[in-house]
Amino acid sequence: MGKVAVGAAVVCAATVCAAAALVVRHRMRCSGRWARAMAILREFEENCGTPIGKLRQVADAMTVEMHAGLASEGGSKLKMLISYVDNLPSGEENGLFYALDLGGTNFRVIRVLLGGKDGGVVKQEFEEVSIPPHLMTGSSDALFGFIATALANFVATESEGLHPSPGRQRELGFTFSFPVRQTSIASGNLIKWTKGFLIDDVVGQDVVGELTKAMERIGLDMRVSALVNDTIGTLAGGRYHNPDVIAAVILGTGTNAAYVERAQAIPKWHGLLPKSGEMVINMEWGNFRSSHLPLTEYDQDLDVESLNPGEQIFEKIISGMYLGEIVRRVLLKMAEEAAFFGDIVPPKLKIPFILRTPHMSAMHHDESSDLRVVGSKLKDILEIPHTSLKMRKAIVELCDIVATRGARLSAAGIVGIIKKLGRDTVKDGEKQKSVIAMDGGLYEHYSKFSTCMESTLKELLGEEVSDNIAVEQSNDGSGIGAALLAASHSQYLEVEES
């Protein structure tokens, strides 16, 4: 009996030891995986670094590229396009005007009644329309036909008192938020598509001509009196409300900037100098690139796999189209190389652009003690049902790294514009106010991004200068701004003035 008992005890002890060894091995394996996942995150954080010295280099590079782009066509990665807008709205515009705002996966049709000097914007109505995905890569006729039909349907809903004066053609400001080589205030040829659009037969064509043909085909009598992009529309809308507005920046699905330049500071301008002495420049700053930009392996891979490799590098690290995708790519590496989500890599995590920036923002802003928003987003979007609090905290940190880099680089870009205009210093006794009009969903809805951008702006400019620089949310610049520019370039303007 004694021998049996001893034998049983030995077997039990061996079993316990083996089980303990398995537990230890499992814990060691888990801690090894966690250490590897954290090493990936720390390396990414280091490569995304934006110390103040680097940001100053980015701002200086932006200023240098602006000068180069104004000097000659093709002289810079920044196109510095002449917009032919040499008179921004004065506040005295009146009458009924339309705007079409095409800048991403949705477009808006807008109707604005302007009341002159004291009336301001009397009434505005709009409708938002989603573009079916197949039209984004189809034909010109299909896309512009769809848009013209939506415009005609909207015109048909004009209520009493919202009709143009008898005998007058309806006039439209067309906000077209893609790179265009402008040939006049109401014509311009598409340089290239961005933001997921790829319709080859429009490239090189006059986009106003394409829209006009589509409107004529369905019998819609409407004249495009101003072709602008969303950034110039934002600048016009900002200036209408505040005469100190000098530039506009869009931070949304894509990103861009426009500003008011002295006509004499544009060497590539060969026409007569405008009476105002000013010209609005559409920078197309999404295409900015510099050796000082903190790019990572994830950014390089994203760029190579994109529709426009080598292009829009600045846009790909600061805009809403891409921030969530960068987070996904880092998480995928953590899953593949460190089994961050367990032994199996979640299949949904392998789908490009499945994690959108609004999802990232929701996780980043989660203030619940158990980070339940992070948990629910991972479950609903990536089908990852179980995550620990430790994992969720790491994901919030990842969102913070990506958003902070984007926000700080955006601020550096704005400082580049301020430097170009010579407004980065305070001159003796001068209190020259400079206002940047901002628009776009990323700036408006991702508050940690916009707060970080604004604090970085102050950090870069210093207290004294930043007292004279303000950033203002523009109230629908791309919609109302385009209608205002249609009004200030109306074919009936001279008739009214004479």
Q: How far apart, in whole angstroms, are the C-alpha atoms of residue 320 and residue 259?
A: 22
Judge whether 177 counts as a catalytic residue: yes
DSSP code per residue over 132-148: PGGGGGS-HHHHHHHHH
Host H or E run for residue 102 = strand 94-102
Supply the pTM of this predicted model.
0.85
- Domain ranges in the chain are 51-80+243-474, 84-228
Other C-beta atoms within 10 Å of 158: how many?
A: 15
Tens digits of pLDDT across the chain (498 residues): 555 555 555 555 545 544 544 544 555 567 789 999 999 999 999 999 999 999 999 999 999 999 999 999 999 999 999 999 988 888 888 889 999 999 788 999 999 998 887 778 888 899 999 999 999 999 999 999 999 999 999 999 988 777 777 788 999 999 998 888 888 899 999 999 887 899 999 999 999 999 999 999 999 999 999 999 888 989 999 998 888 999 999 999 899 999 999 999 999 998 888 888 999 999 999 999 999 999 999 999 999 999 889 999 999 999 999 999 999 999 999 999 999 999 999 999 999 999 999 999 999 999 999 999 999 999 999 999 999 999 999 999 999 999 999 999 999 999 999 999 999 998 776 778 999 999 999 999 999 999 999 999 999 999 999 999 999 998 677 788 999 999 988 887 755 554
* DSSP code per residue over 45-59: HHHT---HHHHHHHH
What local confidence, expressed as pLDDT, does residue 494 receive? Answer: 59
Question: Which CATH number does 51-80+243-474 carry?
Answer: 3.40.367.20
Q: Residue with structure tokens 């009493």? A: 160
Per the residue annotation, which of 108, 329, 405, 408 is the catalytic one? Answer: 108
84-228 is classed CATH 2.40.160.10: no
**Which residue in this structure is represented by tokens 């203002």?**
472
CA distance 424 to 53: 16
The candidate with the shortest Cα–Cα distance to 284, out of 265, 261, 256, is 256
- Catalytic annotation on 291? no
Active site residue 29: no
Residue from 76, 111, 225, 230 carrying the catalytic annotation: 230
Name every residue whose Cβ is closer than 8 Å to that of residue 30 and which is 6 or more positions away in sequence: none
Beta carbons within 8 Å of 483's beta carbon, 6+ residues apart: 97, 98, 99, 110, 112, 114, 173
Provide the Cα torsion 134, 135, 138, 140; round to 10°. 180
Alpha carbon separation from 114 to 95, 478, 496 (Å, rounded): 5, 16, 15
Q: Which of 76, 83, 177, 410 is flagged as catalytic?
A: 177
